[in-house]
Amino acid sequence: MIDLVISVLRAAIRAGSPLLVGTLGEIYTERSGVLNLGVEGVMLMGAVTAFAVTQTTGSIAVGILAAIIVGGLMGLLHGFMSVTLKVNQYVAGLSLVMVGSGISSLIGLGYIGIRGKKLRPVFLGFDILVYLFIALAMVLWFILYRTRIGIEIRSVGENPAAADAMGINVNKTRYLCTVLGGALIGLAGAYLSTAYLSSWTDNMTSGRGWIILALTIFASWNPRGAVLGAWIFGGVEALQYRLQPLGISPSFLGMLPFIATIIILVVSGRFSKGSRGVPEALGKPYRRGER
Amino acid sequence: MRIKVEPRADPTWKLTLAVTVFSALIALPIIAVIFWGFQVNPIEAYSVIFEGAFGDWYGFSETLTKAIPLMLCAIGLSVAFQTGFYNIGAEGQLLMGAIFSTYVALQWGELPSIIIIPLMLVAGFIGGGLWGLIPTYLRVRFETNEVITTLMMNYIASKTLEFLVYGPWKGADEWGFPYTSKFNVNTWIPTWGFTRIHTPTLVFAVLSGIALFFVLTRTKIGFETRIVGKNPEAARYLGISYQRIFMIVMLISGGLAGIAGFGEVAGIQHRLRPGISPGYGFTAIIVAWLGRLHPISTMLVAVLFGGLLVGGEMLQIRLGLPAATIQLFNGVFLLTILSGEYLLRNKIIIEREARQ
């Protein structure tokens, strides 16, 4: 029994790691007031880039770095659409999902069925990134709540007009956060294809991008809260594989993460009404002199 | 020389049309460059798409066949988006409609066509409508984000379909394939000549589009629907309950998507199986947006995108490109159309500085 619990916990943390780093990225994006619904697409691009570059260069580190850059570039594109052009951020995010799924599938065409390199465990059976992501959550929490930059980011997301009056560059802050967010989401994708698994399949994120969006709400836009949420969802995923031998239909088990996401959304809406921390200006473009 | 950007008041419809068409066309060279980057000859790719979709009567009939579900989903979405309810769940609503219709077909398939086909249509509407109402209820009751919930409902619907065709509904004579048994011939929607165009569904789709247009522009509820989307504050002052509007609109939007699912199982497949939709519900989002959320123009755009889906299949067959290539088209179209909106909302003035 103890063995089973430990093995589920271990699997939960591993499966939760890409969710964690992706959620951290989306938290920073949304804290600055930009809503990036394109997580699924950015993650797919990260996954395919990391896998393809690792295959060609032979180095996982280079692969992951490339995924971070590609993620950042997609964040930049979203920043351009939402901050500069000020278009509908919902639709802009959706278009990123489609572009990401299309291009990743084209890039990945030659890599299907290939077994790639995989990040080795360093301590307690976890790879280095698992620890790095937890540390990152703490660092990002510290920056957001204990430093001047954090105050600036939050004020831009809460009340851009006031932030502007205080001399904070609203657009620059939003661009930076959206690019950082995209980079972290790209990293989440890279984790999937080079650490969690070691292969590429079409649409391999299979909904994780949307779960990350829900986790961002569940975490109340707080990097510390993201850790718990990500591991819970990692647990749901891990549980799927543990329950399969019991004869429960795999299609039914496959629904679990999505049902859990809806439940989590309802619960986080219900128990923290009013103070649940949604950035006041989320999804609203800022124009000077307009309220 | 200086470039100035000034906000523009309501653009004229001519300008709107010009900018929309122009920004959609801009997508083509962008996609061409991406194709070229993947060592796909863009001219060849485009001619494969165009010839496949519009080159001959067979291709065009397939285009119209695929336009049917796109129309049904997209006109519903156009209304939902107008109220500010981001229904990304048309795909799941379509699948649920297909599931409900299938239930009716498997239960009472021997009834005469004149009874069973309308029954299946109603079942499809109910299935899709209910599937749309669940996230809507969660939105009005708990303020959950409908983008995420409608998307989750897509996954749940597709897993439900899988569960049914691998399990309880698996046909006895299907050699282990995850299909239901073939429906009784009475349930088949008649098609036009030798094509696969199931005409009654097409007529129904067009009539619903026209009807929705009149409801939106000529009735009180249509007015309320538009106000809720355009100016929620004003709607509140006028005492319009956005909860009620959301529920009504989503019943219709989900229901129409459900009817699209009915069309696919009763008009094309004559059975339920995974993969009945190549993402109609997602493509319909672009169709609605490119149609500027207007039910009538949305129907025309649906035909274009039906062609794109047919062309996409030809790309797979003739050039060996992956199925998701079509998503690339969808995404780039959406990006350029959105960018075009910037030009609609702002005037860009290039000023020459006067010499001193």
What angle do helix axes B146-166 and B90-108 make, rounded to 10 degrees?
A: 30
Q: Per the domain annotation, does A275 fall within a domain?
A: no
Name the average pLDDT for chain A. 90
Q: Residue A245: what pLDDT? A: 80
Residues in chain A with CB shorter than 8 Å from the CB of B151 are: 207, 210
* CATH code for the domain in which residue A24 is found: 1.10.3470
Contacts of A63 (CB under 8 A, 6+ apart): A49, A50, A51, A52, A53, A54, A55, A57, A190, A194
- Surface of A (6-45) touching B: CB under 8 A: 37, 41
If one counts the domains in chain A, the total is 1
Q: Per the domain annotation, does A202 fall within a domain?
A: yes
pLDDT digits (tens, 9 = 90+) for A212-268: 998 998 888 999 989 999 999 899 888 887 887 887 888 888 888 899 889 988 887
Range of the domain at A239: 2-270
CA A254, CA B157: separation in Å to the nearest integer?
Answer: 11
Q: Per the domain annotation, does A283 fall within a domain?
A: no
Residues in chain B with CB shorter than 8 Å from the CB of A109 are: 321-322
Q: Per the domain annotation, does B249 fall within a domain?
A: yes
Q: Per the domain annotation, does B173 fall within a domain?
A: yes
Q: Residue A246: what pLDDT? A: 82
3-state helix, strand, coil in chain B (%, to 5): 75, 5, 25
Q: Per the domain annotation, does B50 fall within a domain?
A: no
Q: Residue A270: what pLDDT? A: 64
pLDDT digits (tens, 9 = 90+) for B89-106: 999 999 999 999 999 999
Predicted TM-score of the model (pTM): 0.89
Q: Per the domain annotation, does A277 fall within a domain?
A: no
Q: Per the domain annotation, does B47 fall within a domain?
A: no
Q: Residue A248: what pLDDT? A: 82
Q: Per the domain annotation, does B248 fall within a domain?
A: yes
- Surface of A (88-127) touching B: CB under 8 A: 88, 90-92, 94-109
- Closest residue of chain A to B34, computed from CA coordinates: A103
Q: Residue A121: what pLDDT? A: 83
Range of the domain at B117: 63-291
pLDDT digits (tens, 9 = 90+) for B292-346: 889 899 999 999 999 999 998 899 898 888 888 888 988 999 899 888 888 888 8
Which of A90, A217, A255 lies at the smallest CB-CB distance from B156?
A255
On whether ipTM exceeds 0.90, the answer is no
Q: Per the domain annotation, does B48 fall within a domain?
A: no
User: By the 8 A CB rule, do B101 and B123 touch?
Assistant: yes
CA B52, CA A37: separation in Å to the nearest integer?
Answer: 33
Partner B contacted by A212 (CB < 8 A): no
Q: Per the domain annotation, does A213 fall within a domain?
A: yes
Q: Residue ranges of chain B with pLDDT lower than 70?
A: 1, 353-356
**Two tokens at B304?**
């274009």
Q: From first to last of its 291 residues, what are the pLDDT tens digits of chain A?
A: 788 788 888 999 999 999 999 999 999 999 999 999 999 999 999 999 999 999 999 999 999 999 999 999 999 999 999 999 988 898 899 899 999 999 999 999 888 888 888 888 888 878 889 999 999 999 999 999 999 999 999 999 999 988 888 889 999 999 999 999 999 999 999 999 998 988 999 889 988 999 999 899 888 899 998 999 999 989 988 888 788 788 788 888 888 889 988 998 888 776 654 446 788 888 888 887 764
Q: Residue A44: what pLDDT? A: 97
Contact at CB, A261 and B145, closer than 8 angstroms = no
CB atoms within 10 A of CB B118: 11
Partner B contacted by A244 (CB < 8 A): no
Q: Per the domain annotation, does A255 fall within a domain?
A: yes
If one counts the domains in chain B, the total is 1
Contact at CB, A87 and B338, closer than 8 angstroms = yes
Q: Per the domain annotation, does A290 fall within a domain?
A: no
pLDDT digits (tens, 9 = 90+) for A182-209: 999 999 999 999 989 889 998 899 889 9
